[in-house]
A and B are shown apart, each in its own frame.
Chain A
Amino acid sequence: MTKNRASGLLINTVLTILAAVTMFPVYMALVNSVKTQGQMFESVMALPTEFHFENYSQAFNQINLLGSTLNSVIVSLVGIGGIIFAAGLAGYKLSRTPGRLSAFIFIMFVSSMLVPFHSIMISLTRVAKALGLQGTTWGLGIIYVGLGVNMAIFLYHGFVKSVPRELEESAQMDGCGEFQTYFRIIFPLLLPITVTIGILDFLWVWNDFLLPLLMLTNVDRYTLILSTNMLFGEYNKEWSLILAALVLTAIPVVIIYAFCQRFIMEGITEGAVKG
């Protein structure tokens, strides 16, 4: 028993030290974001003696926080809404339809999950330009639908197998059309996997950098990440301003993490096990 307690203490110590190391950069960013440049050069480790929140108000304006957040929200809503709508329909039908054609379409979607984004990005910018989607937030959202349906279809396809067929059969006997049956009966039953897909895709779209960088040309349309990237480039070395901006950018995801932690972690395991 004493041996167990000693090893428990050791494990706790190791974990605590590692957790402290993990949190160190975040702590440093927080502490130094309320200092002046001079106080920072004096000592980065010292706790702030006075709080310079003007760093935050300056960063707030420089990254156009409200506008950028709104842009990120639009991109995420269009992207995730589109993915759930299109992939739910397709995943359900492909899972319920036997035969070669259905299997072929399914494999076509799934195998494309191996394609690296960087391999298609050049042609993708041309397609986006040709369709007039470049430079708009909704256009960017639509492109995410095209890139994200494959994984979502895969997850829906697997989940639908656990939904009993009797439900839709009886609904159709009652005179429900196929689409009506799907939206009224099936889609609500898919809620658990819809939540998983929504979370995984939100984290992807919200935090994505390269696609918005290629698609959005106008500063007014920049997502939160892009605005912060621009600030980092422009105000190189003005650390108090940059750190305040980094904290502001990280806050939305950390809040969501605090409230949806369980769903996020379940979503990851769910996605991984099915994948």
Chain B
Amino acid sequence: MSTRNKYVSLFAFTAPALIFYIAFLLIPMIGAFYYSFTDWNGLNRDYDLIGFANFVEVFKEDPDFVNSLWFTLKYVIVMVVLQNVFALFLAVLIESRTRSKGLFRTLFFMPNMISVIISAFMWTFIFSQVLPQIAEKTAFTFLNQSWIGDPKFSFYSILIVSLWNGVGYMMIIYLAGLQGVPQSLKEAAVIDGANAWQRFRSVTLPMIAPAITICLFLTLNSSFKVFEVVYGLTGGGPGRSTQVVTMNIYEEAFSNNFRYGYASAKSIILFALVLILTLIQVGVTKKREVEA
């Protein structure tokens, strides 16, 4: 085939994907960058380039955004740790079973099938109706909290629903990783006199390092973009006390002032954060994988 024909055929095959990709991902991405330097408000046709003014305003005059950023960071840190610890814990326990393995796997993964927003509504019922009633009728009085109305507790409510919904997915990946650990290695460790914890620490963990890298990447990425759980449970309230970054962007662009340019600047900040942190995470864990 001639070189020219080769290019023609390459473009013919990639054209459908490229067209959709350019229209709905690349152009919106470039648009977000461009609008972040403008004062476009969505309603007006005219707008001006205003340099970095939006970015300055975000950090200097927008405590709501800065608070939502801190709240999101707090959520990300706790979620990345808890989601992976729970998922790995469940996976290790399930992997040690023989007959009940399939049943437990099915049960623990099921919440992941239910849409996040539906999960949040279901849990709203649990937090607002079920738990207070249980507290009233039994000795578990600590359950009678304002799970959704009090920002101190609603952080935990958001975590509970997120974990309930998300742990199963990571558990499946860890289970696959655990199945790849050679039996001979575990047996050798037993012969060497290693106890269960030592076997886990020195044999299993290094062997599932790739799964850990993937799960950390996935949880880091998804928890930064958290939206539905908070939207369904607290709506960001009371006030803006549980507002996350994505919700702050959404509010700025679609429900408050339609300041598209300003909201675009915020969305670029979110993008930069996700990009930098995931690159650091992948770099660090990949390096560990090699060493292990």
Q: Is the CB of A90 within 8 A of B225?
A: no
CA distance A117 to B278 in the complex (A): 16
Taking CB atoms, residues of chain A closer than 8 Å to B23 are 127, 131, 146
Does B55 count as interface, using CB distance less than 8 angstroms? no
Residue pairs across A and B with Cβ atoms less than 8 A apart, 13 shown, are A26-B122, A43-B133, A44-B133, A116-B271, A119-B271, A122-B35, A124-B28, A145-B24, A209-B231, A256-B113, A268-B173, A269-B176, A273-B210
Among A87, A102, A121, A208, max chain B CB count under 10 A is at: A121
Interface residues of B in 86-106 (CB under 8 A from A): 90, 93-94, 96-97, 100, 104-106
Does B44 count as interface, using CB distance less than 8 angstroms? no
Which one of B4-12, B45-53, B61-69, B75-83 is at the interface? B4-12
Instruction: Identify which of B16, B94, B123, B176 contacts A15 (C-beta below 8 A).
Output: B94
Taking CB atoms, residues of chain B closer than 8 Å to A87 are 17
Taking CB atoms, residues of chain A closer than 8 Å to B123 are 25
Q: Nearest chain A CB to B134's CB is how many angstroms away? A: 7
Taking CB atoms, residues of chain A closer than 8 Å to B21 are 109, 112, 146, 149-150
Taking CB atoms, residues of chain A closer than 8 Å to B114 are 207, 250, 253-254
CA distance A254 to B115 in the complex (A): 11
Which one of A53-61, A190-198, A225-233 is at the interface? A225-233
Query: What is B's interface to A at a CB cutoff of 8 Å?
Result: 6-7, 9-10, 12-14, 16-18, 20-21, 23-32, 35, 90, 93-94, 96-97, 100, 104-111, 113-119, 121-123, 125-126, 129-130, 133-134, 137, 164, 169, 172-173, 176, 210-211, 214-215, 218, 221, 224-225, 227-228, 231-232, 245-246, 249-250, 253-254, 260, 263-264, 267-268, 270-271, 274-275, 278
Query: What is A's interface to B at a CB cutoff of 8 Å?
Result: 8, 11-12, 14-15, 18-19, 22-26, 28-29, 32, 40, 43-45, 82, 85-87, 89-90, 92-94, 97, 101-102, 105, 109, 112, 114-124, 126-128, 131, 142-143, 145-147, 149-150, 153, 178-179, 182, 203, 206-210, 214, 225, 228-229, 232, 239, 242-243, 246, 249-250, 253-254, 256-257, 261, 264-265, 268-269, 272-273, 275
Q: Is the CB of A242 within 8 A of B121?
A: yes
CA distance A109 to B123 in the complex (A): 37
Q: Is the CB of A101 within 8 A of B267?
A: no
Instruction: Identify which of A15, A44, A112, A232 contacts B97 (C-beta below 8 A).
Output: A15
Instruction: Identify which of B29, B90, B116, B214 contacts A273 (C-beta below 8 A).
Output: B214
